[in-house]
Amino acid sequence: MADTDPRRRIPRTDHLLALPEVITAGERLSQSTIRAIIFEAQAAARAGEIPAAEVAPTVIEHLSSRSVSSLTPVLNATGIIVHTNLGRAPLSASARRAVADATGYVDVEMDLDSGKRSKRGTGAKRALLRACPGAEDVLVVNNGAAALLLAVTALRGDEATGNDGSAGAIDAKVAGEIIVSRGELIEIGAGFRLPDLMTTTGSRIREVGMTNRTHLDDYARAINNQTASLLKVHTSNFRVEGFTASVEIAALRELADEHELPLIADLGSGLFEPDPYLPDEPDIAGALAAGADVVIVSGDKLLGGPQAGLILGRSDAVQRIATHPLARAMRTDKLTLAAIEATVANTENPVRQALHIDVDRLRKRAERLASLVSGTVVAHDGRVGGGGAPGVPLPGWAVELPEELARPLRLGDPAVVARVHQGRCLIDLRCVPEVDDDRIGEAVNRARANTRSRLGDDGVGSSDDPDFTNHA
């Protein structure tokens, strides 16, 4: 009796590898990638998800559409400028060009004039110091958490010496205590907690004050012969309002001087100077002028650059951090240095543009898009995102559409990520380059057409369609 098992008709791997289209794909894709795509198609056929006859066409289709990366470019139509799930800050055109130029051999640690080794990333350093003249020196590391970890490790105060007088020896007494307000011991995304990070240095956290109120005297009473540093942290992702009190950097500076302690300020979001759109967001220049020894910010938030941690401040403090053994493990690469320099040295910046967008122009764009997609223009507040300016609305406009369009928009080409809120799909063009408005319109109309194709003549989805949800 003949074997009728359809799985026996699944093409063999060697037959699929011999297909001309697969051989051609081998010129740009590795054999491991090609084999993985083949195995996935074969597995789908074995599970009955596709017919055996569709294995070869599926492999060819996936190979032809396979990009060099699994990351999918998206149009951010959420109204959230620094969207963590979408890679935070989008790089400017000049920063992207700088990264492209840096992908080959570059003089990242060479003086071309003398042909000798030079300091790493001098161009990025010069650009940052020009942008922030209040800083005497700067160090770039791979992210903000690394910058904080490095700073609290390297700046341990005068008590941070070994029994033999050598710097950097760590024991229970030497590691000492980091004094910080209880209301500033924050947890950010993915369960990341600042106290957990700092205690990995061997230091202890000395919490002072209450969640809502901390006074200078709280810090003063906590200082003892084991105190390593004073830490001021700008809270992210939340605001405490009402009966509150906190201690400013200038007041902490006086206390730090009295006890000869380093003062570290972690600002997070990365404003160089005050911004009228964000009146309560601290800035680097202000923190340095108030007396912080070092200020820590992230490069991929309001700075508008790549992921990086920036440490700016007094030259002796920054050099002490830069020469610590951990600095080598946390240093950044040539691509990040190139992007930081280009971001700081040029006026073009998508984050700043989205933050300071012309609201009247934004409404006109929304009205035009609404006319193209049969949507409705509604008032919609954008947000900074990424922990910056929590609770601060950025007034604007969005196009309201049925919620069921959100998923096909995300899965379309281009992929459009909109905001889903209260049963609506909201498209906010604040973070979308204006040249892409028509692309979004076309994407919406395609998504609507595809959704309608799944409906019956009465406009109701069939009961066996798992992706359809009736929002009538």
pLDDT tens track for 428-469: 999 999 999 999 999 999 999 988 766 544 443 333 332 322
Report the alpha-carbon distance of residue 98 to residue 424 in Å, rounded.
Answer: 40
The list of the chain residues with pLDDT below 70 reads: 1-4, 157-175, 453-472
| Contact by Cβ (8 Å): 207, 236 | no
The helix (H) or strand (E) run that includes residue 372 is helix 359-373
Residues whose CB falls within 8 Å of the CB of residue 452, separated by 6 or more in sequence, listed in order: none
What's the CA angle centered on 192, arms 186 and 193, to 5 degrees? 40
Report the alpha-carbon distance of residue 125 to residue 217 in Å, rounded.
Answer: 38
pLDDT, residue 236, reads: 78
| Contact by Cβ (8 Å): 90, 386 | no
34: closest CA among 57, 51, 17?
Answer: 17
Report the alpha-carbon distance of residue 234 to residue 20 in Å, rounded.
Answer: 58
Work out whether the CA dihedral 112, 109, 351, 401 comes out positive or negative. Answer: positive
Report the alpha-carbon distance of residue 41 to residue 62 in Å, rounded.
Answer: 9
Q: Which residues pair with 400 in a beta bridge?
A: 376, 426
Helix count and strand count (H, E) for the chain? 19, 14
Residues whose CB falls within 8 Å of the CB of residue 138, separated by 6 or more in sequence, listed in order: 125, 128, 129, 132, 310, 311, 312, 318
The amino acid present at 261, given as its one-letter code, is L
Report the alpha-carbon distance of residue 308 to residue 270 in Å, rounded.
Answer: 11
Which pLDDT tens digit goes with each residue over 113-163?
Answer: 999 999 999 999 999 999 999 999 999 999 999 999 999 999 985 444 333
Report the alpha-carbon distance of residue 212 to residue 239 in Å, rounded.
Answer: 10
Q: CATH for 74-84+353-453, among 3.30.420.10, 3.90.1150.110, 3.40.50.360, 3.40.50.720?
A: 3.90.1150.110
pLDDT, residue 423, reads: 95
The helix (H) or strand (E) run that includes residue 10 is none
Domain edges within the chain: 7-65, 74-84+353-453
Dihedral-angle region of residue 176 (phi above 0 means left; psi in -120 to 50 means alpha; beta otherwise):
left
Whether the upstream peptide bond of residue 274 has omega within 30° of 0, thus cis, is: no
pLDDT, residue 3, reads: 61
CA distances to 15, 61, 110, 113 from 116, in Å: 55, 51, 6, 8
pTM score: 0.85
Length of the chain: 472
Report the alpha-carbon distance of residue 257 to residue 291 in Å, rounded.
Answer: 10
pLDDT, residue 58, reads: 94
